[in-house]
Amino acid sequence: MSASLTSSPETIITELQAIVGDDKVRSDAEILLSHGRDWTKAHTPAPLAVVFPRTAAEVQAVVKLANQLAFAIVPSGGRTGLSGGAVAANGEVVVSFDYMSHISDFDPIDRTVVCQAGVITEQLQDFAEEHGLFYPVDFASAGSSQIGGNIATNAGGIKVIRYGMTRDWVAGLKVVTGSGEMLELNRGLLKNNAGYDLRQLFIGAEGTLGLIVEATMQLTRAPKNLTAFVLGVEDFNGIMNLFNRFQAEMDLTAFEFFSEQALQKVVAHSAVPRPFESVCPYYALLEFECLNDEVEAQAMALFETCVEEGWVSDGVMSQSLEQLKNLWRLREDISETISKWTPYKNDISTIISRVPDFLESVETLVTAQYPDFEIIWFGHIGDGNLHLNILKPDGMDKDEFFKKCATVSTGVFEIVAKFGGSVSAEHGVGLLKKPYLSYSRSEAEIALMRQVKQVFDPKGIMNPGKIFD
Amino acid sequence: MSASLTSSPETIITELQAIVGDDKVRSDAEILLSHGRDWTKAHTPAPLAVVFPRTAAEVQAVVKLANQLAFAIVPSGGRTGLSGGAVAANGEVVVSFDYMSHISDFDPIDRTVVCQAGVITEQLQDFAEEHGLFYPVDFASAGSSQIGGNIATNAGGIKVIRYGMTRDWVAGLKVVTGSGEMLELNRGLLKNNAGYDLRQLFIGAEGTLGLIVEATMQLTRAPKNLTAFVLGVEDFNGIMNLFNRFQAEMDLTAFEFFSEQALQKVVAHSAVPRPFESVCPYYALLEFECLNDEVEAQAMALFETCVEEGWVSDGVMSQSLEQLKNLWRLREDISETISKWTPYKNDISTIISRVPDFLESVETLVTAQYPDFEIIWFGHIGDGNLHLNILKPDGMDKDEFFKKCATVSTGVFEIVAKFGGSVSAEHGVGLLKKPYLSYSRSEAEIALMRQVKQVFDPKGIMNPGKIFD
C-alpha cells in the first residue's frame, strides 16, 4: 500500500516550496527529529521534509502534489500520541499544522466555533471559557495536542462519562482526501440525515484517509461548582457498587480510579498531600456539579450509604477550587510521576461491568510471569478504560525490560480478546498496536477497512503503514 | 447498481423457504401491500415476497442467497419512514424483522441491553422504565417503529437537544453486509479507538450497506420531575433570545416550537385546551428536569426575565404530570391533526442561529407562489430542525396540489442549499429526497458514498435505488 518515492527529493522539495514558500519547507536535522515522531519515541524519525501550510488550499495543493509525484504524507499535530501514529520513519513528507491555529466564526447561539486543525486543545478550552462556555474534552496533553490530531485519534480523556469523546464535539469537518478532494462534511448541523455521515469515518482514522484541515467544534454550558470526592475502597467490587449507586442518582462528570501504589508515587514526588490517613488498595475519584445545597446533601447521603454498605472505608469531599485541584492532581500526576521508571504502558478497555475480572486477569498474568514487576493501575472506570503501567525494576536493562514486556503484551491482548475488549481504548492503533489489531477486530472488518481506505486514498499515500499494512 | 432478477421467482421462494420455513415466506397480496411500503404511500408496492427470519443466522443465509441468485433485498422495520426508504416496488425480496423482537442481556452496571432489530421503540422504552432507566430517543411513531429501522435512519425526535439522535445510543451493532459477512461492530464498548468505527457508517445508511440484525443499546438515568413551559412569543427573534437565555443557565430536555395556526388546528380537533388566552404568532415549548425548589425558582426567574425583555408575552408552566402531558399534546398532536388536509411535508434543517432567516425565506417563497396555501410550521428549534407542512386547500385536486408542491420543493431546497442546511434533517433520503441530495452534499461526496456502498455491497443488492442511484 505504501507509496514509494519515484521523484527525486530535490524535485519534491522544490515543488513544495512553490506551494507554501521557501521558509515553510524544512529539512534540517532538528526539525526532522522533532516533527518525525510522537511521544512514543520508539522509532527513528527519517522524514524527507516537514512542510508547514497556512491554509486549507495549501494543504490540498500538497496532497495533489503527493499524488502526482508519488510521495507519502504523515500528518503532524501536537505529536502527543502514544501509538506512533505520527511517526515518519520512511522518507515521508510531514505535513505540520503548527501554522494553522486560527479560531474563527464563533456563534453564541449555535455555540460552535471554527478551528483550523492546528488549534491547541487548551487554546480552544480557553476560548470557550472567555465566552462563558466550555470545551469538555480534556486530558493531560491538552497544552500541546492539536484539534486536528484529537479528531484523527478521537481523543478521550477524563470527562468521557459525561461528555463523550472528541467525536461528540465535531459538528463539521473540512478534510482533504488522499486523492486531493476537499470535502466539507456536515457543516455544523445538529441534525442531518442526508446520506452517509462520512465525517464519522475521518474521526479516529488517524490520518489514513486524508487530512483534517478545519473543524467546527461544538461548545457547551460551563459546569458550575465542580466538586469531587476521593473515596478509599477495599476491592474492585466496591468500586463498581459505588459507581452504580452514584450513577443511578446523579449526573457525574468523572469517575476515575487509581491504586494505592499510584497514590504513593504521587505523594512521594510532589507537594500534594494524601487525601486522608487510611490506606486502601484502591481509590475512586468522583466529580459532579454541586449546583445547590440539595445536590450537596444528596451527594453526602449517597456517600454515607456507601460507607454503611461497607464499600467505602474513608473519603473526602472538596470544599474549594483549591481542594478540587489537589484531589485531581492525585489522579492526573500519576503519568508524569511514573515516567522516571520508563514504564511499559497499555491503554485497554472492556465493558464496565467486566472491569473487575478483567483487571484481576491481567494482574494475575503479569504477576505470574514477572513477580518482581511493579504494576501501577489507573484509569476511567466510568467508561471501562484502564491504563496498565508496569515499572522497570531499578537496575534492569531498558531493552531487556521492554523485551519482557512484549511477551506481556501478547498475554494482555489475549485477555482483551477474551473479554471482548479493545486493544486501544483511546490512544489509537498507529504503529504500536498494529500487530494486535486482530485481537479486537475480525479479519472481515480489517479487510473492509482496507477497502474503505482504498476509496479515499487510492494511491495509499496518506499515513501509510498506520493502523494496518 | 440495482440487481436484476436472473433466477425464477419460484426458485427464489423455494430457496427462501428452505432457510426460514414455508410459513415465514409470504407472497399474498395483503402482505405484499402492507410490507412493500412505508408511511409515504407514494409508490405502488410490488415486492416478490416478504420473508420473516427469526435469527441473525437466517438473515445471513438470506443475504448469501441473494448474492447467489442475484435478487435485491429491501429491509422492513416498522415501516413508519417518511422518505420511502422501505419501499419495494421492483420485485425485491422484503426482509421483515417482525419476528426478531427479543430483548436480552440487560446489564444494570453497563446500562446496556441487546435488542434484535425488530424490537419496537416503545418496547425498549418500557423495558428501560421497568428497570428504573430511560431510553431517551422518542418520537410520534415510537409505538410502531423498530430499533433496526431507527438505527438505519438515525432517528431523531423531540429530545435531541439533550440526548442526541439514535446514533448516540448504539453501543454495538451486529450487521450482515451486502456480501453476506456478519460483523459485530464495537460490541458495547464505551471507549474503542481500534481502527475505523464502521458502526457509524451503518447508522443512517438506510439499509444500503447491509442489514442490521441486532444492536446493543445504551440506556441512561431516568429524568426526574419533567416540567414544561409553553411560552407565547411575538416573533422568531424572540424565540432565539429565549432559547439562548435558557440554554446558558439550564440543561433543557426539549425546546420545540409551533405556530398559532398549528395550535388552532390542534385545539379545534381535540379536547386539549389552549395553554392561555393570549394569541401569539409562535409558541415555544421548553422542558427541563425540575430537580428541586432551587431549579424551579431559577426557571421562574428566567421566565420573568424573558417577559421583561419583551421576548415573551404570556406563558404557563406545568404543575403536574397531567398538565405536562397536555402541554406536550399541543406540539405532538399537530402531525396527526393536520393529516386530514393531505399535507405536503418537508423535514429540513439549518444551523440554529440561521433558523429565523431560513424560515422567513421559505415562507416568503411559498406565499409568493401560492398565496392561498396554508403553511403549518413546527419543529425542534433546539437543533435547527423545522417541519414545513403545507395544507391542501379544500376542493383542490390532490394530484394538482402535489404537482404545485413539487415546484415548491425545488425552491425550498435552493434555500436549504443557500443556508448550508440539510435536505433531510431526520427522515433520511430514501426515494423521496434522492433527487435533491445534491442540494446538501457535493458531487465528490456522493461519488465517495457510491464507492463506499460498493465496498460493503459489491453486487448492489441492498436496498437498491435508495439515497442515490
Nearest Cα of chain B lies from the Cα of A205 at a distance, in angstroms, of 6
Q: Is the pLDDT score of B192 beyond 90? A: yes
- Please answer whether residues A93 and A62 qualify as being in contact, where contact means their C-beta atoms are separated by less than 8 angstroms: yes
C-alpha cell at B446: 456522493
CB contact under 8 A, B349 and A201: no
Nearest Cα of chain B lies from the Cα of A83 at a distance, in angstroms, of 11
Q: Which of A61-65, A83-87, B6-10, B15-19 has the lowest mean pLDDT?
A: B6-10
Contact residues, chain B, for A191 at CB < 8 Å: 156, 160, 165, 349, 380, 383-385, 422, 425-426
Contact residues, chain A, for B165 at CB < 8 Å: 191
Q: Is the pLDDT score of B242 beyond 50? A: yes
Q: Is the pLDDT score of B29 beyond 80? A: yes
Give yes or no for B395 touching A (CB within 8 A). Answer: no
Which of A108, A177, A200 lies at the smallest CB-CB distance from B200?
A200
Residue B312: strand, helix, or coil? strand
Which of A191, A425, A454 lies at the smallest CB-CB distance from B384?
A191
> What's the mean pLDDT in B421-430?
96
The pLDDT assigned to B140 comes to 87
Q: How far is CA A399 from the centre of its chain?
A: 26
Contact residues, chain B, for A244 at CB < 8 Å: 108-109
CB contact under 8 A, A193 and B293: no
pLDDT band at B1 (very low <50, low <70, confident <90, very high): very low
Q: pLDDT over 70 for what percent of chain B? A: 99
Q: Is the pLDDT score of B4 beyond 60? A: no
CA distances from A376 to A216, A381, B181, B279, B295 (A): 38, 15, 40, 66, 42
DSSP calls for B173-225? EEEEETTS-EEEESTT-S---SS--HHHHHTTSTTSSEEEEEEEEE-EEPP-S
Give the count of alpha carbons within 13 A of A168, CB side only.
22
Q: Which domains does chain B have, with CATH numbers?
A: 9-99+452-456 (3.30.43.10), 103-221 (3.30.465.10), 226-335 (3.30.70.2190), 342-427 (3.30.70.2740)
The ipTM, to two decimals, is 0.95
Contact residues, chain B, for A468 at CB < 8 Å: 195
Interface of B with A in 42-71 (CB under 8 A): none
How confident is the model over B276-292, as pLDDT tens digits? 999 999 999 999 999 98
The pLDDT assigned to A220 comes to 96
Interface of B with A in 413-442 (CB under 8 A): 420-429, 433, 437, 440-442
Give yes or no for B252 touching A (CB within 8 A). Answer: no
> What's the mean pLDDT in B13-20?
98
Nearest Cα of chain B lies from the Cα of A351 at a distance, in angstroms, of 5
**What DSSP element (H or E) covers B57?**
helix B56-69
CB contact under 8 A, A156 and B449: no
pLDDT band at B3 (very low <50, low <70, confident <90, very high): very low
Interface of B with A in 222-241 (CB under 8 A): 240
Q: Is the pLDDT score of B252 beyond 80? A: yes
What is the rounded average pLDDT for all residues in chain B?
95
How confident is the model over B61-90, as pLDDT tens digits? 999 999 999 999 999 999 999 999 999 999
Find, in chain B, the residue whose alpha carbon is nearest to that of A172: B351
CA-derived radius of gyration, chain A: 23
The pLDDT assigned to B271 comes to 87
The pLDDT assigned to A2 comes to 44
- Give first-to-last CA distance, chain A, whole Å: 7
For residues B4 and B308, what is the distance between their CA atoms, to the nearest angstrom?
66
- Please answer whether residues B116 and B96 qualify as being in contact, where contact means their C-beta atoms are separated by less than 8 angstroms: no
- Please answer whether residues B358 and B419 qualify as being in contact, where contact means their C-beta atoms are separated by less than 8 angstroms: yes
Find, in chain B, the residue whose alpha carbon is nearest to that of A222: B248
Q: Is the pLDDT score of B259 beyond 60? A: yes
> What's the mean pLDDT in B204-213?
98
- Please answer whether residues B414 and B369 qualify as being in contact, where contact means their C-beta atoms are separated by less than 8 angstroms: no
Per-residue pLDDT of chain A (469 residues; tens, 9 = 90+): 344 446 899 999 999 999 999 999 999 999 999 999 998 877 899 999 999 999 999 999 999 999 999 999 999 999 999 999 999 999 999 999 999 999 999 999 999 999 999 999 999 999 999 999 999 999 989 999 999 999 999 999 899 999 999 999 999 999 999 999 999 999 999 999 999 999 999 999 999 999 999 999 999 999 999 999 999 999 988 999 999 999 988 999 999 999 999 999 999 998 899 999 999 999 999 999 999 898 999 999 999 999 999 999 999 999 999 999 999 999 999 999 999 998 999 999 999 999 999 999 999 999 999 999 999 999 998 899 999 999 999 999 988 998 999 899 999 999 999 999 999 999 999 999 999 999 999 999 999 999 999 999 999 999 999 999 9
Give yes or no for B384 touching A (CB within 8 A). Answer: yes
How confident is the model over B109-160, as pLDDT tens digits? 999 999 999 999 999 999 999 999 999 999 989 999 999 999 999 999 899 9
CA distances from B231 to A6, A244, B235, B307 (A): 68, 38, 12, 10
Q: List b or e across B167-191, with b for residues whose CB sees 16 or more CB atoms inside 10 angstroms.
A: bbbbbbbbbbbbbbbbbbbbbbbbb
Which of A181, A201, A247 lies at the smallest CB-CB distance from B201?
A201
Cα dihedral B44→B45→B47→B52 (10° resolution): 180
Contact residues, chain B, for A350 at CB < 8 Å: 189
Measuring CA to CA, which residue among B142, B62, B81, B77 is closest to residue B116? Answer: B77
Q: List b or e across B53-67, with b for residues whose CB sees 16 or more CB atoms inside 10 angstroms.
A: bbebebbbbbbebbb
C-alpha cell at B427: 427522515
> What's the mean pLDDT in B8-23?
97
Contact residues, chain A, for B291 at CB < 8 Å: 294-295
> What's the mean pLDDT in B413-422?
97
DSSP calls for A235-246? SHHHHHHHHHHH
CB contact under 8 A, A349 and B191: yes
Give the count of alpha carbons within 13 A of A54, CB side only.
8
Give yes or no for B398 touching A (CB within 8 A). Answer: no
CB contact under 8 A, B352 and A293: no
- Please answer whether residues A215 and A279 qualify as being in contact, where contact means their C-beta atoms are separated by less than 8 angstroms: no
- Give first-to-last CA distance, chain B, whole Å: 7
For residues B280 and B210, what is the distance between their CA atoms, to the nearest angstrom?
48
Residue B40: strand, helix, or coil? coil
Single-letter amino acid code for the residue at A337: T
